[in-house]
Structure 1
């Protein structure tokens, strides 16, 4: 087991690049990248960093030279022979050769494209522009770098003893959460915590602790590199990025209304009936399901990533019933801002009514809340940092979500999307992470 405190204390030795592999990323990014490579390879996109926590002034905390050094390091990375072999030959979700030879040949030659970085009013403006399959792979490394540099900035002045105590407290905190989860039969939980983790080493420790503590209740990790190194299942399907870009490419309102279903039609063709999980909330869950074609009701399940999770699960159950499907045979994956209390509550509430699984993210891999207080400031508490596609072929992207606080896009386009997708009043909920 790695002595994390000592490694953190010595991180200036440069033995710990923040991103150490092109597959130190979420599995769903790989799956989506292959789909985009096949269906929309020439689409030009812009991704941009968005810090929802404006009070955390990242440019005042993180040295620009160090940030550039880490970003430049990512641009030197390419697949190792072992990583390529793992992707080409491993079995994912029961399917061998999940990644096609033409995609792998392209990926093996890939180096990530250039970035644009500047400081504006205490924040970093970080953008990536270029072809969609290349640029999309910057999202997770960019977030991981910013989050870990923030962690390093806070811990950089601690001595060895302080760091040992900090990580001992954090380990105890996670283990206490694991012990709360242990007694619940039928629980299925995976690590979804790459993008806003405290650090790579900490995420790796958390994943090992989950496997040791929860045994078969722990079903895998979204992080490809950690999955490969620990012989775990790599888990994930797709994200809001696909409907956001497809919708931005729509030529008129009719095409816009159809775009989210075009995404899933291409996905079904790409994966030959596997990985059939719907993410319905990009432009409002209720409206998406009301207008959904019947063939989508036959898919395996739904992932809930915004709004009231219990309410959204009830909507999904009612929708399956209305389409003649048995909800007890369907899967609901909860993945929005989860912690142990909410996981247990949802698991118990829906037991016997629908299959459930949980993607536990930031509050597993970055819950240092209350562990490092400076005055009245919780200096290591996680915060909401995202990197999203903001343009596609020059057109702005829009996300409405089931929580208006997660909405993004120009105001006039947001209103247009609300009209096209029939989104009415929404209940705002706090965005913790």
Structure 2
């Protein structure tokens, strides 16, 4: 097992680049990329970094030259033979050859497109623009780089023994959380922590700890490289990016109202089983389900990713019952701001009523709260989102207005079209 503290102390980034492979990314990005490649490859999209935690001055903490060096390194990456073989030949979600030959041929020859980086005050403005299938693959590497460089800036100030104690405490904290989860009957939990991880080495350690500590209850990781290296299931379905871009391309309010369902109609043609998971909150869960076509009720489950998680699950249960479906046969995946206590609470509330699953993110792979001087390693909310498609702004409403994004006039229009009423604001932890 890697001695992470010693590796940090002796750190040379050319030995440990932050992103060391194009498949050091979340599995859902590759699934979505194939769908986009098939259906919308000519769409021009702009992604932009958004630091919701403005109290973290990234441009003061992170050297611009080092940031550019890491971003340039990612642009030099391409699939190696072993990675290509794994993607082409492995079984994902019970399906062999998940990735089609034409997509794989494109991916094997693809390099990430250029980026634009500019300092604005104490923050960085980082944007990516180009063909959607290429640009979308910047999201996870960009976030991982910014998060880890911020961590390295803090760790650089610590001594050898301080680093040993810090990582020992973080390991103990993580293991205690795992022990807290062990008694839960029929637990299903996966690592969703790539995008805001402390570091690649730390995420890999957390995954190994989950493997040993939870056994079969640990169902896999969203990180493709770690899944490959550790012989685990790669976990992931789809994300808000798809409906946000489809909606931005809509010409009329009527097309806008249909856009989220067009996304899932395209997805329905490609995938089945546990990949048919609805993410309903992009423009409000209540309105999405109220107007959803009947065939969506037959999908496997729903991912709850904003708002009150218990309320989201109850809404899904009522919807299935109204559509003549048995909720006990449906899968509910909780994935927003989870930690051990919330996982225990939600499992106890919904176990037996639905098939419960958890995607554990930042507070699995980046919980160093209170462990560094000045709490300088506390996780923060950083996202990289599609902000425009073919020159039109994208919008996300969410079930939590604090996660909404887009121009104010467009947010108002989307709320009208999707019949979104009053919402309860919740603190965005990570």
Instruction: Say whether 1:55 aligns with 2:71.
Output: no
Q: How many residues were matched structurally?
A: 430
- In the TM superposition, what whole-angstrom CA distance separates every residue of 1:88-114 from its partner, at most 9, and x where no partner exists? 000000000000000000000000000
Native 8 Å contact 1:28 1:235 kept in 2: yes
Stretches of 4+ aligned residues off by more than 6 angstroms: none
- In the TM superposition, what whole-angstrom CA distance separates every residue of 1:161-216 from its partner, at most 9, and x where no partner exists? 11111100000000000000001111100000000000000000000000000001
Paired residues for 1:227-376 under 5 Å: 227-271=227-271, 275-374=275-374
Instruction: Say whether 1:14 aligns with 2:14.
Output: yes
Instruction: Say whether 1:417 aligns with 2:395.
Output: no
Q: In 2, distance between residues paired with 1:372 and 1:159?
A: 12
Q: In 2, distance between residues paired with 1:231 and 1:170?
A: 25
Helix, strand or coil at the partner of 1:417: helix
> What is the match of residue 158 of structure 2?
158
Shift of 1:274: 5.7
Paired residues for 1:12-411 under 5 Å: 12=12, 14-271=14-271, 275-374=275-374, 378-411=375-408
Q: In 1, distance between residues paired with 2:17 and 2:283?
A: 37
Shift of 1:352: 1.1
Unaligned runs of 5+ residues in structure 2 are none
Instruction: Say whether 1:430 aligns with 2:396.
Output: no
Native 8 Å contact 2:273 2:300 kept in 1: no
Q: In 2, distance between residues paired with 1:318 and 1:373?
A: 47
Helix, strand or coil at the partner of 2:275: coil
Native 8 Å contact 1:402 1:426 kept in 2: yes
- In the TM superposition, what whole-angstrom CA distance separates every residue of 1:280-332 from its partner, at most 9, and x where no partner exists? 00000010000000000000000000000000100000000000000000000
Helix, strand or coil at the partner of 1:11: coil
Q: In 1, distance between residues paired with 2:119 and 2:325?
A: 52
Q: In 2, distance between residues paired with 1:13 and 1:324?
A: 56
Shift of 1:2: 0.2
Shift of 1:262: 0.1
CA 1:13 to 1:323, structure 2 compared with 1: closer, same or farther past 3 Å? closer
Native 8 Å contact 1:4 1:202 kept in 2: yes
Normalised by the length of structure 1, the TM-score is 0.99
Unaligned runs of 5+ residues in structure 1 are none
Shift of 1:10: 1.7
Q: In 2, distance between residues paired with 1:13 and 1:331?
A: 41
Shift of 1:14: 2.4
Shift of 1:160: 1.3
Native 8 Å contact 2:37 2:133 kept in 1: yes
Native 8 Å contact 1:88 1:97 kept in 2: yes
Native 8 Å contact 1:249 1:395 kept in 2: yes
Q: In 1, distance between residues paired with 2:373 and 2:29?
A: 35
Q: In 2, distance between residues paired with 1:296 and 1:62?
A: 45
- In the TM superposition, what whole-angstrom CA distance separates every residue of 1:363-382 from its partner, at most 9, and x where no partner exists? 000000011123xxx10000
Normalised by the length of structure 2, the TM-score is 0.99
Native 8 Å contact 1:268 1:274 kept in 2: no
Shift of 1:273: 5.8
Helix, strand or coil at the partner of 1:219: strand
Q: In 1, distance between residues paired with 2:17 and 2:373?
A: 27
Q: In 1, distance between residues paired with 2:183 and 2:167?
A: 26
- In the TM superposition, what whole-angstrom CA distance separates every residue of 1:381-421 from its partner, at most 9, and x where no partner exists? 00000000000000000000000000000000000000000
